[in-house]
Structure 1
Amino acid sequence: MIQNSAANEVISVTPAMPATSALTQGRLVGFGMLVSFALGMYSNFQLQSDLFSNGGFMVQAGQQPALVGIIVVLGLITGLISLAIAASVRQRMGPQMPVLSRCYLLLVTAGFAMSQVEHTVLLAMRPVSEAFLAVGPQAAASFELVRELLGGLRNGIHFPDKLVGGLSVFLLFFLLKHARVIPAPLAFAGMVAAACQMCTILRELFGYDIIYALLAPLALIYPATGFWLLIKGFAVKESASLMR
């Protein structure tokens, strides 16, 4: 009887998250999703496009030295926001889905580490570009091996990083669906969109061209989910049941 009453006491002192906390936490996750999405899109499709166009990084990294620094800083901010989102989801959904929420946090952590390695390669491009510009076009051939090496290293880290990111997003939508904090159709759409993203990244890993149209669904659904959470937060009724 003492053991039973003690067990009951342990259960009773594990309260559900207050409604205001659930609302705030969900809104913070939604805000983080929107900010990380906006920064990631700007970095990948604007800044990095500028870095690798018009002569490539051998020209642009030296001519625009601040460009690489901005890419690295934005990547660091985006990665930290993603880690905060993963930690929040882990704290929120860990009691109900301990293994999957832990896997999600580990995948985001791995992606953050991979992105920092990629940023190291990007920073190495700047002094190489400055040296290339200093010697002039007549010595361009001597830099060709370095160009191919750094470009290959960057792509060799960048695309596996994006694949890990797609898998982590797939798990995020699965967790949100299972916790019933977003509409099921939106969660299903998010998982399908993440699968499409992973498929086109896998194409590149096996030597085929990326189909950019397969990136579009996730580019629509991910911010839509962020807006939903920013408005609704984590639904109070469902979130209270998670802790029972």
Structure 2
Amino acid sequence: MLAPVGGWRTATVAGIDHPTAHGVRLRLDVPDRVDHLPGQHYVLRLTAPDGYTATRSYSIASAPSDPLLELFVEVLPDGEVSGFLDEVVEPGDELEVRGPIGGWFVWTGERQAVAIGAGSGVVPLVSMLRHARDVGRTDALTLVTGARTLADLPYADEFRAAGAHLVLSREDHDGRPAGRLAAADLAGLLTGAERGFVCGSAGFAETASVLLADLGMDVQQIRVERFGPTS
């Protein structure tokens, strides 16, 4: 399947909030928006009065059926784009965006899948989860989400309500001692899974993808997205 691609648009901020201590959620009205697939992302561009531009890529959290585009941005220390979105942007402001982009890390609901994310890497999993609910395929998606603490996990309530398996590295949760993702966390979750999705920091992505392979998943069916701060 060819993934949809959209060009530059001027989006209007319909809503903005701060659901975690270091995260900002944007709800954008994008005119003539091209419908995305769960797992795709958008590029956001800021232009200063002197013409200087900065662009960043952010995963989509909203389902394709959502009339608005939802992005979740991790606010980084000294982050020029994330800091601006966190401290300056208000409802009614206009932002330049381009998307959807990407065809490697997409899930349409047709295949049984296990999706693993940590930190802001859980954002594309939110889109997958919401799409699964829309098309009646929640049984085809197994979710494993991680963070340092529950308060640090974006969309924690939504993941918990969906029965996602939570892995917290610095906090005990629901009988699981604090600790990083391990094989025991994934044991029994791969039955029937035809594809694996992994999204997170470089270190987390490497660990999770190796665990999937060691547990028997075909490496050709493991889709990985790594992210990190932009200098």
TM-score normalised according to structure 1 size: 0.26
Instruction: Compare the two structures and name the one with the higher strand fraction.
Output: 2
TM-score normalised according to structure 2 size: 0.27
Instruction: Compare the two structures and name the one with the higher helix fraction.
Output: 1
Structure of greater Rg: 1
